Amino acid sequence: MIMDITEKIKNQIAKNPILIYMKGSPNLPSCGFSAQAIKALSACGERFAYIDILQNNDIRMELPKYANWPTFPQLWIDGKLIGGCDIIMEMYRNGELQKLIKVTAEKYKNRE
């Protein structure tokens, strides 16, 4: 049976404590907003997962409805939607993102 796309999204979010849905990949972002978000996320120094929505059209169509958030990138930390590029950059500038990433990475580090 084909997994329902909403279930697929829920699984991805549950399996990856720090997950960004983006256009492109961290090494080759396909839009300026994704590039900015990745820069901030990478600067936090912890591992994170990503899903390239350009390679996953079903997710690209469904995630905005599921998340009630219309744009990409979308950063999910510990199962919660943090937000998009503006929120990520704002949190990074005021140090919140670094703290949240560190705490989350610490919480899940034995789950490898």
72 is in an annotated binding site: yes
31 is in an annotated binding site: yes
85 is in an annotated binding site: yes
Report DSSP letters for 29-98, one per residue.
ESSHHHHHHHHHHHHTTS--EEEETTT-HHHHHHHHHHHT--SS-EEEETTEEEESHHHHHHHHHTTHHH
Q: Please report, in range form, the residues annotated as the binding site.
A: 23, 31, 60, 72, 85-86
Q: Please report, in range form, the residues annotated as the binding site for [2Fe-2S] cluster.
A: 31
Q: Please report, in range form, the residues annotated as the binding site for glutathione.
A: 23, 60, 72, 85-86
